[in-house]
Structure 1
Amino acid sequence: MPDKIFADQRLADVYDYFDSSERPDLDPYLKLAEDFNVQTVIDLGCGTGNLACKLAARGKEVIGVDPAAASLHAAKRKTYADMVKWVNGTIAELPDDVKTDLITVTGNAAQVFLTDEEWLSTLRKCRSHLVRGGRLVFEVRNPEKEAWKSWQRESSSDVIDVPEKGKIETWSELLDVQYPLVSFRNTFVFHSDGTVITSESTLRFRSKTEVIDSLSEAHLIVEDVRDAPDRPGLEFVFIARNPD
């Protein structure tokens, strides 16, 4: 089940307002799609569809996949959304004959796979949908930077004014660290009616070596491991290729 922050329609509808409107984290993926001259893309864990719609605007054939129906409902209201095929579910729901040049997993969505079995199964399924030479590109946080130490209310509190919805206050709180699993809670307060909605999440932190080993086990060749340009030193961007 997806976390409430993605699955609750009221939260999904305002999710983009709490992120940078420019989404500089998506620029490297757009550039890679052009550098690799891809025509087809599967955006896995597409959320509210920002990357999928940007790719569609560039003439790519895009499938956006996400288990949260509320997020997809928000995505379908975006410009160019009618040019994207939306799939409510996981990559396991895609027919076996669907092949693509590129699979993207942005926003640290690769960290929602908590067990090694679930992660490896996902990697293998991704490989099965890649054409020969097709690539899987995803990002994860560098666990050595211990990002969770800043997930506290005093450092994460924010209030924004959303059109037609009014002021919304939000903050994050660290709940538990049982490394490599880290749990936290996001709280949203809608000032217009006093509604408070909380969403709890758990992420799996894998080291660079662990990720490389898992890609090798899934028979994907690691072409490169890069810094996230907008967060240098904090995240890894993996580029893996299907040799088959």
Structure 2
Amino acid sequence: MGSLAGKTALVTGAGRGIGRAIALRLARDGARVGVHYGSSADGAAQTVAAITDTGGDAFAIQTALGTPGDAAALWAAFDEHADGVDILVNNAGILGGRMPYADVDEAIYDQIFAINTKAPFFVIRHGLSRLRDGGRIVNISTRFTHGARNPELAAYAMSKAALDSLTATLAKELGPRGITVNAVGPGATDTDMNAARLSTEEGRAAIAALSPLNRVAQAADIADIVAFLASDDARWVTGQWIDGSGGSML
């Protein structure tokens, strides 16, 4: 029996990339997984199939984050499948493109913050009545909030820095209920978001060289960190930002 048997998880943005890897890992550990997606219906269906085909339990729910009423709509869809949640992973997010600071207009800025910051804030707030005592919240952040600076990702880093602040604040707020709240900060990971940068031998070598381990992160590397934070083994870890960049800032 898996360490998360009897638990229900919700992973936002689980139709592809890191979100899919997290959903697969939590399911492998025994959790029933809600696979949220925004527009990648086929990807979410593939995630669900990958879980159920190996004996796990999963269901897909669709909500466009970053739109008015998104959090309430997400939980209404979730409620059709489950009567509570034990693990909430706020993974959905957008980079917003790499561009000079001077080229970031208000529309791009607002979209980044709507999806990366406002959505998880209210997904958590609306989810608190459903989140069981002793539960887990894991927010997917970035290495760019802790020492790594890239002017082309200024708005993205700002949006995730706000999420880091929320992580620490909610750890204090929800501690009396035994709920832990932590964040994981990946670096460049081998997903479609970084496909162009990893498409050449030179690009892959440059990214691998950022880590003392001299390789490119796989989505499963991040999923395994999340699985630890979701487990009982991490019951005494809360309010933390966990470096998931393979030591790229050493």
TM range (shorter): 0.3 to 0.5
In the superposition, the TM-score normalised over structure 1's length comes to 0.43
Q: Which has more helix, going by share of residues? A: 2
Q: Which has more strand, going by share of residues? A: 1
